[in-house]
Structure 1
Amino acid sequence: MKFTKTAWIATMATVALGATACGGDGGEGSDGAEPVTLRVGHVFPASSPIHVAATAWADQVKEETDGRVEISVFPGSQLGSDVEMGEGLQSGTVECGMVNYAAAGIDPRLQLSFMPYIVTGYDGADALFYGDGFVANHDRELLAERGVEVLAFYENDFRGLSNSKHAVHTPADLEGLKLRVPETPMYVDMFKAWGAQPLAMAFSELYTALQQGTVDGQDNGLALTTDSQFGEVQSYMTLTNHAYGTGALACNEDTWAQVGDDQDTVRAAAETMSVDMRQALRDARPDRMETLKAQGVEVVELTDAEMAEFVKIKEVIWPQFEEVFGTDVIAGLREASEAVAGG
């Protein structure tokens, strides 16, 4: 069962019915044996493309393994924050998750994917963050060292900035803004360098923090900003594209071993999900911009000159974190980034 556009729409309709955890129903495999059951958690809303994709993946796996593998998907931080799931994936208390591993505290070197302006477009993202791309290989190997098996990487859109105070066109406009950022040192340092007041907090706390004015704004892509209804509590959105949002659909290595002979089937379905979800997210960008505008949010698309001012942060943060990643890794990342420049 390919994860087609029709399947996407059908799955979205199912998700809209409001199931708390979607996936397997606890039956038996076609041979009468008890199925392998996997619980997969993530922090995103049940209406998000990531949850829709995960649910479609669970259905596809059940069908293609004749019920030998059943997957239940838990949205909305039901299995914990990214940090909590990152810890659980290593210890085995979390079986599987769709995790923003760069913010999960698993290994400081996994912040690499958060480095600002590695790529500026989708062609570059596809080349470096998936398959045998430089970032994909780097992160896959580090996660494996920690006992975490990556099945596929997923897209969470290029990150932008929203706030409730004023339109942002240049880094100077960030001066003094209180912004929620992911729980990672790199992001805190980057926004401090821009003059903002970054506050690291779990994503599950963000809507309330915006609503109550604990923070003025946040940095996420169009998809998560609209799906989380941040347009209700924000007035401005700037498409800075300062980092490519990615994460991994991954399992604890001992849990993954239990899948046995069905590993190839489960992994192939995850890769299919990754490709189709990326396309669906990208196709939906214009509609998401219109959704924000309809909520009264001013959407700022930067000019080339304005974008160039933001990109300068690359030469501040990259050298600063060379000690964390190693000289060879930074050199390799720079070479890979330059090879897809403009993509």
Structure 2
Amino acid sequence: MKCFRMTPLIMATLASCLMAAPGMALAEKITIAIGGSGQSLQGQTAKRFADGLQERLGDDYQVEYYDSGQLGDEKQLVQKLRLKTVDMAAISTVMSSVVPAFALFDLPYLINDRQQMQSINDELVMTELAERARKRGLVPVSTWENGFRQITNNRRAINTPADLKGLKIRVPPSEWRSMMFTQWGANPTPMAFSEVFVGLQTGVIDGQENPLTNIYGARLHEVQNYLSMTNHVYSPIWLMTGLQWWDKQPEEVRQAIQEEAQDAQRWAFKRGQEMDEELLERFEAEGIRINEVDREAFIDASQPVYERFASQVEGGESLIDRARGAEGQQ
């Protein structure tokens, strides 16, 4: 077998070819990942952000976007942000296990509307909570939306907490969400979002709780019979970066990221409300049995969750009071 000899002429030709395409060879890569479905609101928001950022930064940067847990679930993505193997990620409920104060957004019936959430974002998230996150190696860039969470199951309509007794309900890996459903009488089952469809399909779990956009995006309604409109928690999702990565970015890149993220936030809040209305009609058309719940019964059953947050989380009672006092509270 003849060996191929790399002559000086060939080497020079290869070198000139590489130099002729500096955009491909030298483009800085920015990786963005989410654990949710690309069809969900968080998926649509993240894709809009990624596309806008790519257009703004141009050929000097290559923005790569991954959804549906391709690079890991939220817990894994937090670790990858710290290790700088992922540059930005959308993180929701898992934040409460990283920075306990973020469990504020696991408290039932704390947030009534998106106007209130915007005020809480400006007055609490991007100030005090952001500082706590930085101490844990993370930087919240913007607050997007997962939406108001509802309960689905295959056994019966949920009207009061008593109707949850004995039901195996999938919850995110959050001690606060588990505590909430335990308090309501259910058997909470922590599970990665990517496993929920099969869990429902095989009967490992009876039901789950998620915003309508997540339910539809992951096709969970195809393996569920009942949708109970509890609106029990409004779930933000935060665009996070690792502190080390963020501090090393040029000022113009940080500014571009922040401006595109804020544009995505405005779009997400508006689109979230629109999708809530659209998806209810779709679910009804597909034969899902939809019911309203006794809101006051759920609020009354939730008081121990508030008491524990106030006593266990640093400054917990003050955070609750400030969130309740934010503009938009009804």
The interval holding the TM-score normalised by the smaller chain is 0.7 to 0.9
2:274 to 269, 283, 292: 283
Query: What letter is aligned with 2:206?
Result: D
Q: 1:33 offset after TM fit, Å?
A: 8.1
The DSSP-based 3-state class of the residue aligned with 1:284 is helix
Residues 101, 248 of structure 1: 8 Å contact kept: no
In 1, Cα distance between equivalents of 2:124 and 2:290: 32
Distance 1:314 1:216, change over 3 A: same
Tell me whether 1:97 sits opposite 2:67 in the alignment: no
Query: What letter is aligned with 1:137?
Result: T
Query: What is the match of residue 152 of structure 1?
Result: 142
Residues 109, 324 of structure 1: 8 Å contact kept: no
The DSSP-based 3-state class of the residue aligned with 2:63 is strand
Query: What is the match of residue 257 of structure 1?
Result: 247
Query: What letter is aligned with 2:267?
Result: D
Question: For the aligned residues, what is the CA RMSD?
Answer: 2.0
Query: What letter is aligned with 2:292?
Result: E
Of structures 1 and 2, the one with the larger relative CO (CA 8 A, separation 6+) is 2
Number of aligned positions between the proteins: 309
Q: Deviations over 1:49-74 (max 9, x none)?
A: 32222222222212222333332110
The DSSP-based 3-state class of the residue aligned with 1:93 is coil
Tell me whether 1:166 sits opposite 2:163 in the alignment: no
Q: 1:35 offset after TM fit, Å?
A: 2.8
Query: What letter is aligned with 2:290?
Result: V
Query: What letter is aligned with 1:176?
Result: G
Q: 1:135 offset after TM fit, Å?
A: 4.2
Residues 99, 250 of structure 1: 8 Å contact kept: yes
Q: Deviations over 1:289-315 (max 9, x none)?
A: 01111221111123xxx1111112342
2:324 to 330, 334, 337: 337
Distance 1:323 1:272, change over 3 A: same
Query: What is the match of residue 312 of structure 2?
Result: 324
Query: What is the match of residue 3 of structure 1?
Result: none
Query: What is the match of residue 13 of structure 2?
Result: none
Residues 43, 82 of structure 1: 8 Å contact kept: yes
Query: What is the match of residue 130 of structure 2?
Result: 140
Q: Deviations over 1:99-142 (max 9, x none)?
A: 115457323333222112211222222221x2x23245343222
Tell me whether 1:216 sits opposite 2:203 in the alignment: no
Query: What is the match of residue 126 of structure 1?
Result: 118
Indicate the structure with greater helix content.
2
Tell me whether 1:109 sits opposite 2:101 in the alignment: yes
Q: TM-score, normalization: structure 1? A: 0.84
Within-5 A mapping of 1:78-89: 78-89=70-81
The DSSP-based 3-state class of the residue aligned with 1:67 is helix
Structure 2 unaligned regions, length at least 5: 1-20
Q: Deviations over 1:246-301 (max 9, x none)?
A: 11111112222343132111111111111112211211211100111122111112
In 1, Cα distance between equivalents of 2:271 and 2:58: 27
In 1, Cα distance between equivalents of 2:326 and 2:44: 33
1:187 to 177, 184, 191: 177
Query: What is the match of residue 67 of structure 2?
Result: 75
1:175 to 165, 175, 181: 165
Residues 134, 333 of structure 1: 8 Å contact kept: no
Structure 1 unaligned regions, length at least 5: 1-26
Residues 86, 101 of structure 1: 8 Å contact kept: no
The DSSP-based 3-state class of the residue aligned with 1:183 is coil
Q: State which structure, 1 or 2, has the greater radius of gyration over its C-alpha atoms.
A: 2
Query: What letter is aligned with 2:102?
Result: L
In 2, Cα distance between equivalents of 1:67 and 1:313: 54
